[in-house]
Structure 1
Amino acid sequence: MAALCGCGTTRVTDTQRTATEQLLVSNAVDQAVSQLDCRCLAGKPVYFDPQYLDNSLDRGYLVSSLRQHLLACGCVLQEDRAKAVYVVEARSGGVGTDRNALLIGVPQMNVPTLVPGQPSSIPEIPIAKKTDQKGVAKVALFAYNRITGKPVWQSGVVQATSTAKDTWVLGIGPIMRGTIREGTEFAGAPLGLPIISGPEEEVPPVVAVNRPAHWSESSPSRNDGPSPLQLVNASTTLPSVTRPGELPPVSSLLPQLPEPATNVPPPPAPPPPTPNAGGQAETQPARLQVSGFGVAPDS
């Protein structure tokens, strides 16, 4: 039994920035970028200028999200500024997090001690407690013609907010909600409560950065001349070949009528009728009348 006794420890470390903080920032960036409508520049060579985002928090994620969104809207990104016709500049008005807390009960406080050895603080005794964390991203874009310097388009200022809410009731919790979570969770486990789950997320009309999408790339056309199939279709009909013991097709046995000649002058008009002995033109054929005395032409 003494050989089975022992203990083990697991070393746990935390990153300098918590995962909740990073998710709040990235979720706010995703929402803000997805609200930008850059489809007016679809199909045009564009150079993206991110120099005014150098001091933004999580600059790499913000720049990559904007580039991805420009491509999703149909823009043709150019790595060389001289090869682009339009330049898109981006700026950020704020990327960060904030937090506030609400407590119903007795907060933790320090009290003076009269007797040495007694505790000098009162622990927190919450009846209900709530902590709200918020991430904010404020982004704006505008485009101008690189050659003329004239403005072409501006997006306006777009601001988005991400949330993470934790609630404790009579010491039970945390009940976690927010835009960074997939539904309501209780201590990290999914909790299906439709009353507090919140409304369903609306799908924006523009291609969102945080949603999957697919584009089919057409292969470039090659002008190598007509294909063999096109040459066969353009040529005359090949004669049919019959095998031994098979009858030839009926169409080959029928006489082939000659095609009407083209560019043939029309036949000449008939001559005018000649007048008779009475000076009348013969417009009708003559008819013979037979009687008992003889045959006389019908006048």
Structure 2
Amino acid sequence: MLRSHLLICGFLTWGLLGCASSKTSNTARTATEQLLISNAVDQALDKIDFRAFRGHTVFLDERYVECVDKQYVISSVRHRILHQGAILVPKAEEAEVLVELRTGVVGTDVADSFLGVPEITLPGMLTLPEVRVLTRQVQTGTAKLGIVAIDAKTKEVLGEGGMTLAQSDTNNWFVAGIGPFHSGSIHGEVENMTQGPAANKWNYIPSTVVFAKPKQETVTPLTPPAIQYTSTTQTALEETPGTETNR
């Protein structure tokens, strides 16, 4: 009997060591989910070299892009093409190169695991709570993009095209209910962009609102137009001293 009480007290002591919960979001989607997807998309596009299109007109065909954060995927591809010196055009008829983009996978996954004791029901309707000594939550973001380039005139494939796949991740650790302790690719991205030179601010918006008066146009006084003569003889007579003009 004494051993049973000690066992119960031991479990209760473990349960009181720590307890942590993470509020996910007050918006429709968490920032972590969006970072996982955008980070995976960026990594996938890092593997595509658009330098062959430098100086050429390019039309991006986005009909086969169907995924979450579709606009980010399309805009990121457009940015990469422009960054390599190509010229984007709004119509296929105006392009030398047709770039066809498709999405295979753009999404996230979550996996939970823990080291501890599961919930136990004892005789007499007594239930011992679950005790998690070590908990790990892993979230991953995966992006798989396909791309092919076509000569607009000959309709031949330029190169082989191909698929690019990348994965982002975040690991959250809890020790005896204390945490989370973070690691993963998205935390490295946040750290790199919020510390050091990347954290410098180049554009400040004032915290107070002050307006300036609109500039007033300077009104130039009108001057009477000079007399214009249609006859060169008349002009010569006016310029000759002592000459009177018959009126």
Instruction: Give the match for residue 14 of structure 2.
Output: none
Is 1:65 aligned to 2:76, yes or no?
A: yes
Cα distance 1:102–1:145, how it changes in 2: closer, same or farther (>3 A)? Answer: same
Preserved contact between residue 28 and residue 162 of structure 1 (Cα < 8 Å): yes
Instruction: Give the match for residue 85 of structure 2.
Output: 74
Is 1:50 aligned to 2:56, yes or no?
A: no
TM-score normalised over the length of structure 2: 0.62
Is 1:95 aligned to 2:101, yes or no?
A: no
- Identity across the alignment (%): 36
Q: Which amino acid aligns with 2:82?
A: L
1:28 alignment partner, one of 40, 54, 61: 40
1:41 alignment partner, one of 50, 53, 56: 53
Instruction: Give the match for residue 138 of structure 1.
Output: 144
Deviation for aligned residue 1:58: 0.8
Deviation for aligned residue 1:38: 1.2
Instruction: Give the match for residue 159 of structure 1.
Output: 165
Q: Which amino acid aligns with 1:159?
A: L
Cα distance 1:64–1:122, how it changes in 2: closer, same or farther (>3 A)? Answer: farther
1:178 alignment partner, one of 181, 184, 187: 184
Preserved contact between residue 170 and residue 184 of structure 2 (Cα < 8 Å): yes
Alignment RMSD: 2.5
CA distance in 1, matches of 2:120, 2:175: 24
Q: Which amino acid aligns with 1:123?
A: P
Is 1:18 aligned to 2:34, yes or no?
A: no
Preserved contact between residue 139 and residue 159 of structure 1 (Cα < 8 Å): yes
Preserved contact between residue 120 and residue 130 of structure 2 (Cα < 8 Å): no
Preserved contact between residue 122 and residue 128 of structure 2 (Cα < 8 Å): no
Preserved contact between residue 176 and residue 184 of structure 1 (Cα < 8 Å): no
Q: What is the number of equivalent residue pairs in this alignment? A: 169
CA distance in 1, matches of 2:132, 2:184: 22
Deviation for aligned residue 1:36: 0.7
Q: Which amino acid aligns with 1:29?
A: V
**Which one has more relative contact order, counting CA pairs under 8 Å at least 6 apart?**
2
SS at match of 1:162: strand
Preserved contact between residue 41 and residue 75 of structure 1 (Cα < 8 Å): yes
Q: Which amino acid aligns with 1:100?
A: A
SS at match of 2:150: strand
SS at match of 2:158: strand
CA distance in 2, matches of 1:183, 1:41: 29
Instruction: Give the match for residue 130 of structure 2.
Output: 124
Preserved contact between residue 113 and residue 136 of structure 2 (Cα < 8 Å): yes
CA distance in 1, matches of 2:25, 2:85: 44
Aligned ranges 1:253-268 → 2 under 5 Å = none
Cα displacement string for residues 243-281 of structure 1 (whole angstroms, at most 9, x for unaligned residues): xxxxxxxxxxxxxxxxxxxxxxxxxxxxxxxxxxxxxxx
Cα displacement string for residues 181-224 of structure 1 (whole angstroms, at most 9, x for unaligned residues): 13899xxxx9xxxxxxxxxxxxxxxxxxxxxxxxxxxxxxxxxx
Larger proportion of helix: 2
Instruction: Give the match for residue 202 of structure 2.
Output: none
Provide structure 2 residue ranges, at least 5 long, that are not aligned to the other structure. 1-23, 195-247
Deviation for aligned residue 1:13: 6.7
Preserved contact between residue 127 and residue 170 of structure 1 (Cα < 8 Å): yes
